[in-house]
Structure 1
Amino acid sequence: MKKNIQSVSETYICPKKAGYKFRSARKFHTPLYLYGVTGIGKTALILNNVNMKKCSYYSATTILADEINIEKKTTEHTVVIDDLQSLADSSQKEAYFEKIKELLGREDIWLILISRCPFPRWLLPLRAKYIFVEIEEEDFLFSLDEQIAYIEQFGFELPHEQHQAAWSIGGGNPLSLFFYVMENCNLERTIKRQWDYLEVHVYDQWDLQLQEFFMDVSVVEEFTVQLATMLTGRRDVEKLISQAEETGNFFEICGTNGIWRCRWPMRKSMQQRLRRRKTAEQIERLYYSAGLYYEINDQIPEALDMYEKYNDMDSISRLLTANARKNPSSGHYFELRRYYLELPDNIVENSPVLMAGLSLLQSMLMNIEESNRWYRALEKYAEEHTGSEKREARNRLLYLKIALPHTGSAGLIDIFKNADLLLRDRKAVLSEFSVTSNLPSLMNGGKDFCEWSKHDQELARGIGIPVAFVLGKYGKGLVPMALAESYLEKGQDIFEIFSLAEKGKMETDSGGKLEMFFVGVGLLAWLSVLNRDAEGAEKTLLSFRERAKKDAPNLLPNIDAFLCRVHLYMGKDVADWMSQAPDESREFCTMDRFRYLTKVRIYIQRGQYQAAYCLIQQILYYAKLMKRTYIYMEATLLLAIVQYRMNQPAWKETLQGCISRAEEYHFVRVLTREGLVLMQMLEKDKFIWQDAEYKNQVLTECRQMAEAYPFYLSEEGEEQIALSTNAVKILKLQAEGMASAAIAQSMKLSEATVKYHCRETYRKLGVKNKTAAIAEARRRKLI
């Protein structure tokens, strides 16, 4: 039997957080500020917790400030001023400011202010002078248990799943629950009633300009001032946003990084209102304006989403064609794959640019047959057409011969020589290439050039100039950096590598591409790591990151992955990076390969061997299909490590295969970067080496890396180590670069005492030097 809802007090349940703050404010006679959307329970909290015989209640919507006159009381008297958000006129605000200031200064009055918005700007001077307890909108929301208690007092006994569904939609909002009970726990009718309530009792009370503003911006999930200006055609957007902030708590994000986002229920209400009050043509115009804004700002996926909303196929086709003219590093092929794959064949077959784009995209998606189908269609188009259309098709074919990911590097020397002649004779024009795919590598960038490394000096002399010419801006600094990377992988003279890398960076800085500069930065970072200076590598990458953030944000994901690799050597926590790493279980994006290889290493360190194994299998499939020799070697080595950790006998055979393949190219660093874990495996069994010098080079450098980074990829979860307060402080100062003498002076200890603490710390951590101690302490989160 359901109880009749007669009054608030009979059914009122005080939200735990709001009640706690209220009691705390009352106990210490602290001014109270409550805010939240309509129906959240602000006024109900006061009515059910304040002795109304000793309380004066005023609403700013009906009472002027000078009408509030409270006589001197001998006992504490509560004064409540509600609806502060309704004060729009500056003179009204000034009057209320003075009245509130007066009331705050009286010891016989406990002041409570209520509004729909967070603490307003015009009251901030008082907030700076007086301490307020603030009960925020979130504090009024019911927990799931509180919601169940509220509903059950009306005689409804619902299954837990239904309670959970109601809580997921309403989020514990009391008004939503009130309507839910009124509608006999029908969720669909509850949502409609809530929207109708907001429509009549909230939105209709707003200024018309504010109503129009929120309807217009509801077509986008979030907006900037510039986007809102373009949507509304108004120049006073910032003023309207400020007015909205003082009218209610409507924003989920309030200007963070220049971005605003409306709360989901409000946005949905505004979209409903928009559809009822504006014509289809007016709404289409809003979506077009939003799409145009995104297009101008190179936010292509967002622009396409807007154009798709009203089926603007002309704009969609135009955008996809423009994107197909870009290389995979600067374009949005993977993000836009749905739009490309939904294009009718008859539209694609009439555009050489779209045919080339589909061939490239299908190759990136590892659909080799489909990629070849569109390549053949483009060849046919070139045969059947003349003039500019034929030239466009032939230019695209030449581009694909070089750029298609699945074709590898075989035959590229002749293709580059031919392209060089065609370009110099002005018989061809090539679009910009993606040489690195935004990776810090040329040998393992857009394509795999391991085979070229076998003849690096000869090729640099023979075709270095033609290749650099064909690649245009990407050719700046290419030859010295390609040689530097080849030498780095082979473990050759470190000073020559430094020299070539710096030369390549200088050439790139003279009219080249920042993607190529990243290669030089990456080479120097790896040299620092190999030279036991992971901190130096981190500084190099962080410095470059600041530049890339401004000039080449497309590089940031791989810069962050590189930093994560360095942090693994340093023993730093990589949980933040892992939280935003690509999810291979949802989709495998070939452009994220460097990030996937980083993620595998974290899986290994965390002991998540099954996850590591599954991701490695995806990487191996990709590497084999797309002729990625280096990645195949690297993934095979990581597979051997996983098998070794899982006590699978196959690890020996897997590792032997990796060693033999790496030795074929004399690649040292693909092995030695794994340091201690590889050293342990090599010491467990005998392996076949063809070249004794190569074997010694690998073993020597593995030992050096093991000593420098003794806990790289080591399993987590070992015994906890307790260090004294002084020992931890000394370690922190060492990590900042301070010497023992300076630390002793800073801590007012003798240098001998500092050194004693250091020796004890090294012993407890199981390390032999300061660098290793700092890395291990960071890994264990001791500093």
Structure 2
Amino acid sequence: MDKSYIAPEVALRKLRAARGLQQTIYIYGATGYGKTELVRQYLSNRRYQYFSCREDREKPEEIFSFWPEREKGAGKPREKRNTKDQASVIVVDDLHLLKSEEGRAQILETIGRGEVWLILIGRSPMPLWLMQTYVKEGFLIVTEEDLRLKKKEIAEYFQRQQLSFTEEEAAYVWEQTQGNGYVVRHTALKMQEGKRPGPQLTQEIQEAFVDYLESCILVEWDSDLLEFLMKISVVEEFTLPMAELVSGDSRVSELLERALEAGNFLTCEEGVYRLRPELVGALRKRAAKVFGSDKMADYAYNAGLYYEMHDQIVPALVMFEQCGRKERVKDLLVRNARLNPGNGHYFELRRYYLQMREEEVEESAVLMAGMSMLYSLLLQEDESEYWYDKLKLFVQKTKGGQRREALSRLVYLDIALPHRGSIDMLEIMKRVPSLLFKRGIRLPEFSVTSNCPSTMNGGKDFCHWSKDDRKLAVTVGRLVERVLGRYGKGLVKAALGESLYEKGGDTYEILTLLTRAQMETEGSGMMEIEFAAVGLQVRLNVFHGEMQTAKALLGAFDGKVREQRALQLLPNIAALKCRLALYEGDRNTVETWMETAPDEKKEFYVMERYRYLTKVRCYIFAGAYLEAQSLLEKLRYYAEKFHRIYIRMEVNLLSAIVKQRMGGEWKEDFLAALKEAGKYHFFRLISEEGAAVKALFASAGRSFLEQELPDKEWFSRLLLETGEVAVRYPVYLKRQLAQMPDFCETALAILRLQAEGLSVNQISERLSMKAATVKYHTKENYRKLGVSGKTDAVLAARNLGIL
């Protein structure tokens, strides 16, 4: 027994509860989580019988040869003795190894016997053969999550080991070990040798744990199950069809059921199976010895084929590279280059593209166009134009189909290269029809929105078109839709609707345009245009205070996207949902989204701009102003370099909010945003920021702003709209610095009574205090919460978890 072992408090509470109720308890978790040690510690001063299903696996009936028989005249199941201490305690360990029908029947017969308290221990969640009895009898369950040591418990364990450590080191160990007792103990032993927690020690311990799993755990599994898992270990997650293709085994379904019962190393969620990283390492190590590198390369190739068949280009490339199939790698790079940046994986695959020899790229018009697009996305305009010129030379040197392919790629780049902006787009559009229709050229796959919920601020910036939106919709609209074909269906109506929305146009006209745009795309158009139409409808409803309608619209579209497998839209749909949560001050949803947000500190990718701008708002909401400003400066650089007018206005506005809250010079950015928005007669870009912008208007002063802004009528309406949005969503991007310790019991009591709708006089009577005292605490509560009224205070307090 490890006397320095720290039992997780959650697990102990459940054991005590089961003991008190004399209720069967099932404890499960992967290797190393201290299941057996927990029970030993708890029963250290009690008599109990211990059985392990690991012993005598060849003769499982011998495990239960000394199993206590039912006492003569014992009561019916569920009858209890007078005291819990009179019951016999039986512990059955390694239940996942029990295959004997006789042994299983013995356990099932014992459950519910009044004279026995049964503790079952296994590695997997509730096995199927126990499920019916579990439902009938109602076991208590200690899960793997319950067995994880918390930060405090790890620190206590280190103290018992008389180790010197910092809070940061204890937190690091907790994060790296995920509370696994075996790994924590191994870490402590290494620290006694003078080593400190860090990446090097983590790697050393992980390798040792993998060795332990390979030598002690894998050998317990049936040979056919182990062989299957070694084959599939070339990937970390898979579906049943993929497992069949990779392994070539027709019994995959049965094997996976057995694997799930063998231990908590394999999970299944929505048909996707996942192997734990530590198990993957052990399986691959053993597979290398058993199968050899050539055979494992074959399994990796099978996995690559599966990914390729399902258009999962990035993992397919990884597999083909792993098994040394260079010709397949090049084929996939060409295939990816045929896709537009919204559907392709240019950024993720940049390493492969940039490693290609120039002579290889020059052999393919598709690859040259792909390189031009990739460099543009990487903000390297000169290199992008270099490959564009190479493609032009290729057109001059070739004939027939190759020339038409190259020419179509040139036309595509003329329209789509991000760094060129949209200033010359009208002239380009006028030239394109003669190329497409007279020379028999087809435009390659095209993206107008880059998967953003916007047409005016999608693939390129078209703010300057907004000034003549109605005229252009009539004169150029048909031409654009003709040139783009199915990629442009619904585009003109969606763009006009967005332009009118930004300029505060008639709500019903806007809604009509967006609805018709959506219907046009549903025929044979592109779902990305439909997303732009739906996204604008969501914004329209939010602006008018119809939040539930906005959520329902977005939720329905989300379901449609998943059904039609347009998965490239999901990240920005999630970002739009996060923006709705910000209006409601929904901290949990915002924090959850932030866990999946792209990391701009690691790398900045222009295709993530919508999510970056969402992340800036999340930073502001959390009070992380330096992080917000740092990301804004990257976005500012991108906006200037790629002529993104709308994003520049947005960056200036958000930057003003951040700088004002940090006490810096903010008016210059604010005025820049206002003047440029006024130039295009845009309202919603500003007014949608509601309470966050209202504070800037108040600080700057109306008279000062009227002197700076020439269009007084536009400014007056902007103030009115911003105020209305601020009233509808009072906690949007509010500074919420208060926490529970900031409030005394009296202040909290007043907040709770305000939430019930009581007035100051009613509260003073209820709490037996003067009205002046209630008013004082109320004022302090408002100050701490950063609000100015009762409704906002109650909402802010609830969002912070204070109420």
TM-score by length of 1: 0.84
Asked whether the 8 Å contact 1:329–1:554 carries over to 2, the reply is yes
In the TM superposition, residue 34 of structure 1 has moved relative to its aligned partner by 4.0
Structure 1: how far apart are the matches of 2:117 and 2:232?
Answer: 41
Q: Do residues 349 (structure 1) and 362 (structure 2) align? A: yes
Residues 482-501 of structure 1 mapped to structure 2, 5 A cutoff: 482-501=495-514
Q: 1:405 to 1:479 in 2, by over 3 A?
A: same
Q: Do residues 709 (structure 1) and 729 (structure 2) align? A: yes
Q: Give the structure 1 partner of residue 61 of structure 2.
A: 64
Q: Give the structure 2 partner of residue 680 of structure 1.
A: 698
Q: Give the structure 1 partner of residue 22 of structure 2.
A: 29
Residues 561-580 of structure 1 mapped to structure 2, 5 A cutoff: 561-573=575-587, 574-580=590-596
Q: Do residues 16 (structure 1) and 36 (structure 2) align? A: no
Q: Give the structure 2 partner of residue 214 of structure 1.
A: 229
Residues 579-618 of structure 1 mapped to structure 2, 5 A cutoff: 579-618=595-634
Residues 110-149 of structure 1 mapped to structure 2, 5 A cutoff: 110-136=117-143, 143-145=153-155, 148=158
Asked whether the 8 Å contact 1:329–1:438 carries over to 2, the reply is yes
Asked whether the 8 Å contact 2:98–2:104 carries over to 1, the reply is no
Q: Give the structure 1 partner of residue 710 of structure 2.
A: 690
2:679 equivalent among 664, 686, 698? 664
1:632 equivalent among 645, 648, 659? 648
2:466 equivalent among 443, 450, 453? 453
Q: 1:22 to 1:351 in 2, by over 3 A?
A: same
Q: Give the structure 2 partner of residue 87 of structure 1.
A: 98
Asked whether the 8 Å contact 1:478–1:504 carries over to 2, the reply is yes
Per-residue CA deviations over 1:261-319 (Å, capped at 9, x if unaligned) read: 22233221110111111133211111111111112222221111111212321111111
Structure 2: how far apart are the matches of 1:490 and 1:33?
Answer: 63
Q: 1:133 to 1:218 in 2, by over 3 A?
A: same
Moved more, 533-542 or 195-204: 195-204
In the TM superposition, residue 354 of structure 1 has moved relative to its aligned partner by 0.7
Q: Give the structure 2 partner of residue 752 of structure 1.
A: none
Q: Give the structure 2 partner of residue 754 of structure 1.
A: none
In the TM superposition, residue 550 of structure 1 has moved relative to its aligned partner by 2.3
In the TM superposition, residue 337 of structure 1 has moved relative to its aligned partner by 1.8
Q: Give the structure 2 partner of residue 747 of structure 1.
A: none
Matched residue SS, 2:476: helix
Asked whether the 8 Å contact 1:352–1:393 carries over to 2, the reply is yes
Q: Do residues 363 (structure 1) and 370 (structure 2) align? A: no
TM-score by length of 2: 0.82
Q: 1:490 to 1:141 in 2, by over 3 A?
A: closer
Structure 2: how far apart are the matches of 1:137 and 1:544?
Answer: 36
1:431 equivalent among 440, 444, 450? 444
Matched residue SS, 2:422: coil
Per-residue CA deviations over 1:584-629 (Å, capped at 9, x if unaligned) read: 2222121121222222223333333222222211111100100111
Per-residue CA deviations over 1:16-66 (Å, capped at 9, x if unaligned) read: 136665555445533343445567655566667467976364647344188
Q: 1:461 to 1:233 in 2, by over 3 A?
A: same
In the TM superposition, residue 352 of structure 1 has moved relative to its aligned partner by 0.8
In the TM superposition, residue 498 of structure 1 has moved relative to its aligned partner by 2.4
Matched residue SS, 1:99: helix
Structure 1: how far apart are the matches of 2:520 and 2:395?
Answer: 37
Structure 1: how far apart are the matches of 2:288 and 2:489?
Answer: 54
Q: What one-letter code is carried by the residue in structure 2 that aligns with 1:70?
A: P
Asked whether the 8 Å contact 1:435–1:474 carries over to 2, the reply is yes
User: Which structure 1 segments of 5+ residues have no match?
Assistant: 1-8, 732-759
In the TM superposition, residue 501 of structure 1 has moved relative to its aligned partner by 2.0
Matched residue SS, 1:70: coil
Q: Give the structure 1 partner of residue 253 of structure 2.
A: 238
Percentage of matched positions with identical amino acids: 38
Moved more, 231-240 or 135-144: 135-144
Asked whether the 8 Å contact 1:215–1:271 carries over to 2, the reply is yes
In the TM superposition, residue 391 of structure 1 has moved relative to its aligned partner by 1.8
Q: Give the structure 2 partner of residue 463 of structure 1.
A: 476
Q: Give the structure 2 partner of residue 757 of structure 1.
A: none
Q: 1:774 to 1:173 in 2, by over 3 A?
A: closer
In the TM superposition, residue 694 of structure 1 has moved relative to its aligned partner by 2.7
Q: What one-letter code is carried by the residue in structure 1 that aligns with 2:132?
A: P
Q: Do residues 102 (structure 1) and 109 (structure 2) align? A: yes
Aligned length: 733
Asked whether the 8 Å contact 1:416–1:466 carries over to 2, the reply is yes
Q: Do residues 540 (structure 1) and 553 (structure 2) align? A: yes
In the TM superposition, residue 488 of structure 1 has moved relative to its aligned partner by 1.8
Asked whether the 8 Å contact 2:186–2:205 carries over to 1, the reply is no
Q: Do residues 223 (structure 1) and 238 (structure 2) align? A: yes
In the TM superposition, residue 225 of structure 1 has moved relative to its aligned partner by 1.4
Structure 2: how far apart are the matches of 1:465 and 1:196?
Answer: 67
Q: Give the structure 1 partner of residue 522 of structure 2.
A: 509
Per-residue CA deviations over 1:623-666 (Å, capped at 9, x if unaligned) read: 01001111112211222233333333x43333333333222222
Asked whether the 8 Å contact 1:144–1:172 carries over to 2, the reply is no
Residues 303-318 of structure 1 mapped to structure 2, 5 A cutoff: 303-318=316-331
Q: What one-letter code is carried by the residue in structure 2 that aligns with 1:128?
A: V
Q: 1:325 to 1:135 in 2, by over 3 A?
A: same
Matched residue SS, 1:492: coil
In the TM superposition, residue 349 of structure 1 has moved relative to its aligned partner by 1.4
Moved more, 232-241 or 100-109: 100-109
Matched residue SS, 2:26: strand
Asked whether the 8 Å contact 2:368–2:387 carries over to 1, the reply is yes
Asked whether the 8 Å contact 2:49–2:89 carries over to 1, the reply is yes
Moved more, 492-501 or 447-456: 492-501
Moved more, 169-178 or 368-377: 169-178
**Aligned-residue CA RMSD (Å):** 3.7
Asked whether the 8 Å contact 2:155–2:170 carries over to 1, the reply is no
Q: 1:370 to 1:109 in 2, by over 3 A?
A: same
Residues 406-421 of structure 1 mapped to structure 2, 5 A cutoff: 406-421=419-434
Q: 1:271 to 1:162 in 2, by over 3 A?
A: farther
In the TM superposition, residue 358 of structure 1 has moved relative to its aligned partner by 0.9
Per-residue CA deviations over 1:455-482 (Å, capped at 9, x if unaligned) read: 2223222221111011111221222222
Asked whether the 8 Å contact 1:183–1:190 carries over to 2, the reply is no
Q: 1:459 to 1:211 in 2, by over 3 A?
A: same
Residues 378-393 of structure 1 mapped to structure 2, 5 A cutoff: 378-393=391-406
Structure 2: how far apart are the matches of 1:708 and 1:25?
Answer: 50
Structure 1: how far apart are the matches of 2:21 and 2:458?
Answer: 65
Q: What one-letter code is carried by the residue in structure 1 that aligns with 2:321?
A: E
Structure 2: how far apart are the matches of 1:395 and 1:357?
Answer: 13
Q: Give the structure 2 partner of residue 472 of structure 1.
A: 485
